[in-house]
């Protein structure tokens, strides 16, 4: 009896576009989280938020999104901007910044139809939220 192959068999018909997180997602996400953990300063915090905003902008451009999905991503971008602005204040509140980023993460991960693309950004947001407590206290 022949041994059955392990893993998935995927058959494609027509054009296939593979890009972004699909190709090297886990590696890139792990590296980004490692960079965040190793460089915890207010400047690195803001840079990490900008990196996530860049990922979301790319996601909006590369994916065929429904208007509702775009609107939800824009709300998440607003939460990220809110956290960045709060971190620039005279006495940033790490707990409030973390709460804002946790809300953004939950919203991002709940967007229908984008599970694979948003989970990586959500994981990075979770790490940035933890970074807020380390950098700004809580």
Q: Give residues with Cβ within 8 angstroms of 50, minimum separation 6.
A: 84
For the chain, the domains span 24-136
Reduced DSSP (H G I as helix, E B as strand, rest coil) percent helix, strand, coil of the chain, to 5: 70, 0, 30
Q: What is the pLDDT of residue 128?
A: 78
Between CA 113 and CA 126 the distance in angstroms is 21
**pTM value > 0.85:** no
Per-residue pLDDT of the chain (138 residues; tens, 9 = 90+): 555 556 555 555 555 555 554 544 555 656 555 665 566 788 888 888 888 888 888 888 877 788 888 898 899 999 999 999 999 888 899 999 999 999 998 888 887 666 555 667 777 777 778 878 778 786
Q: How many angstroms separate the CA atoms of 111 and 31, rounded?
A: 24
């Amino acid at each position: 009896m022949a041994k059955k192959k392990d893993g998935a068999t995927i058959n494609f018909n027509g054009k296939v576009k593979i890009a972004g997180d699909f190709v090297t997602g886990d590696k890139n996400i792990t590296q980004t989280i490692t960079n965040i953990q190793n460089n915890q300063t207010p400047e690195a915090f803001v840079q990490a938020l900008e990196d996530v905003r860049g990922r979301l902008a790319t996601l909006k451009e590369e994916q065929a999104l429904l208007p509702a999905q775009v609107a939800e991503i824009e709300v998440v971008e607003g939460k990220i901007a809110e956290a960045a602005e709060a971190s620039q204040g005279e006495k940033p509140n790490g707990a409030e910044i973390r709460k804002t980023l946790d809300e953004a993460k939950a919203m991002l991960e709940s967007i229908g139809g984008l599970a694979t693309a948003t989970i990586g950004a959500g994981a990075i947001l979770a790490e940035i939220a933890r970074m807020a407590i380390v950098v700004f206290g809580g």
